[in-house]
Amino acid sequence: MSIRMTRRAALGAGLAAATLPMPAIGQGNAPKPDRIVVNASGGAMANLFRRTYNAEFEKRHGIRVVDTSPVDFGKLRAMVESGNVEWTVTELGGQDFVRAKQMNLLEPLDLSILDLSRYPEAVRDTHVFPSSVYSTVMAYRTDVFPNGSHPKSWAEFWDVRRFPGPRSLRNHPVDNLEFALLADGVAKDKIYPIDMDRAFAKLDQIRQHVTVWWTTGAQPAQLLVDREVVLASGWNGRFFDVANKGAPVSIEWSGGSAKQNAFGIPRGCKHPYWANQFLQVMTTPQLQAVYATELAYPGLHPDTVNYVEEKVRPHLPTTPANLEKQFWLGVDWWTENGQKAQEAWNRWMLRRG
């Protein structure tokens, strides 16, 4: 019974969104499913999602939000291709959103429901919702490098004589090839297209000083806390979190690799109307500010920063003073060359010595 109801409601919502030209009428008449499914990163983030966006959506529309994780590109493709789309909206990891769009795995956004008019032009897209900004940055132990004596560029990160101690980098070519080029003296605006030979040659120099090539986002912060390493690359929110809890860890924004986190609606989604409504809830500056205050991942609504707690603002990647020290990751280059770079990376990692 309840399954039949849901299916009929789903069909109704789909039809409403697809056929009705006026969103106002759609809103009035779109039958409500009893729940939608939001797939995103789990852990602390899921918790915060529940308290902010999910709670607000439930309050506004009276539809329950079920959250699932993890973010899985392979699963997204399998869902879309099998026609059994379980997610209403999903986060898209890393740089996958470009390929998700290219491979026709996403529904177009309905900009009559989802209002992005105040968003920066550069991040507006027909299929991809830019949810927040994060950055891969350098972090260091403040007790090992006190009073600003830490490396202040990737060139200095590479300088093991002036800044001795074990380091950690991600076991992945993304960001690392850029960092290597910056360390080798390439200017921020000349990184792309990446000269892979030059990047790997530079990585050769740091290789034996990197004791851990990290895999999961929680690792680098933990490695610094445990003093397994004294310098590490990692996602700014993770370092922000341990520093807030009192760990002697701090971020150097120079040479950080800024990028956007993205959400999309899987093609064949059962409730595209409500998917767009959910994304609309995610544009709320006050809620984005809660998210930014706790995780240091600010949303892209220009008003968000006004609601972020004063003391957190210097720790956001989008704060002007921080932003000008970083570069924007070249998503297009990685979409084109990602697989080739990964294979080169695997070969490089496997080389003995």
Partner 1 sequence: MAHASARRDPARARERTLLALAAPALIVLAVLFVWPLIRLLSMSVEGGTLAQFEKAALDELYVAVLWDSLEIALIVTVICLVLAYPVAMWIVQAGRLGFILGMFFLLLPFWTSVLVRTYAWMVLLGRNGIINRMLRDWGWIEFPLPLLHNLLGVLIGIVHVMLPYMVIPIYAALLRIDPDLKRAAEGLGAPAWRTFLRVTLPLSLPGVFAGSALVFVITLGFFITPALLGGGRVVMIATLIEQQVREFLDWNFAAALATVLLVVTLAIYALLGRLTGGQGHAAR
Contacts of 56 (CB under 8 A, 6+ apart): 281, 284, 287
Write each residue from 172 to 201 as x if it is in contact with partner 1 (CB under 8 A), else as -, in one continuous string.
------------------------------
Helices 2-19 and 272-282, interaxial angle, to 10°? 80
Which tokens sit at 146? 């006190």
Is 343 near partner 1 (CB under 8 A)? yes
* Structure tokens belonging to residue 188: 């921020």
Strand partners, 328: 258
How far apart are alpha carbons 298 and 314 in whole angstroms?
A: 12
Q: How far is the C-alpha of 261 from the C-alpha of 135, rounded, in Å?
A: 10
Cβ burial, residue 153 (10 Å; 0-12/13-18/19+): middle
**Residue 226 sits in the site that holds partner 1 (CB under 8 A):** yes
Beta strands 231-235 and 167-170, pairing class: parallel
Query: Given candidates 10, 15, 55, 103, which one binds partner 1 under the rule CB under 8 A?
Result: 103
**Between 233 and 277, CB nearer to partner 1:** 233
- Residue 331's nearest CA partner among 42, 94, 56, 128 is 94
Residue placing its CB nearer to partner 1 in the complex, 168 or 322: 168
Of 309 and 343, which CB lies nearer to partner 1 in the complex structure?
A: 343
Among 99, 141, 150, 315, binds partner 1 (CB under 8 A): 99
Please state, in angstroms and rounded to a whole number, the distance separating the CA atoms of residues 270 and 206: 49
- Check binding of 72 to partner 1 (CB under 8 A): yes
Is residue 215 within the footprint of partner 1 (CB under 8 A)? yes
- Position among 39, 52, 54, 219 found at the interface with partner 1 (CB under 8 A): 219
> In this structure, how many other beta carbons lie within 10 angstroms of the beta carbon of residue 127?
19
Instruction: Give least dist CB 339 to partner 1, A.
Output: 5
Q: Which stretch binds partner 1 (CB under 8 A): 4-12, 141-149, 256-264, 338-346?
A: 338-346
Q: How far is the CB of 29 from partner 1 (least distance, A)?
A: 38
Q: Does 333 bind partner 1 (CB under 8 A)?
A: no
Instruction: Give yes or no for residue 74 binding partner 1 (CB under 8 A).
Output: yes
Q: Which of residues 296-315 bind partner 1 (CB under 8 A)?
A: none
**Residue the block writes with tokens 């990964």:** 342
Interaction of residue 248 with partner 1, rule CB under 8 A = no
Least Å from the CB of residue 93 to partner 1: 9
Q: Is 104 left (phi over 0), alpha (psi -120 to 50) or beta?
A: left
Interface residue list for partner 1 (CB under 8 A): 72-74, 77, 99, 103, 166, 171, 211-216, 219, 222, 226-228, 338-339, 342-343, 346-347, 349-350
